[in-house]
Amino acid sequence: MMWWNGVGYGMGWGGWVLMAVVMVAFWGLVVAGVLALFHSMRMDRTAPFDPDGRAREILDERFARGEIDAEEYRLRRNELRARQ
């Protein structure tokens, strides 16, 4: 019965504290990994980035407001399509 009074092969307080810290760190990393996995799966990957999309919107708005005529609208729209 030399294990109960701190003599022998028992683990001291430092060992218990270290074991608890390592266990908390391990489970924290597991939870962070699972959250990162779900976050990457939730990202919208269906709509590709269209850099000319905003340019076309501005062109459409300018044409709708009457700032440019139909000929200039067609010319600029064709230039945007040619860049793709």
**Integer Cα distance of 12 and 5 in angstroms:** 11
**Integer Cα distance of 41 and 39 in angstroms:** 5
pLDDT at residue 1, rounded to an integer = 46
pLDDT in tens, 35-81: 998 887 776 566 666 666 888 889 999 999 999 999 999 999 998 88
Domain segments of the chain as ranges: 10-47, 53-82
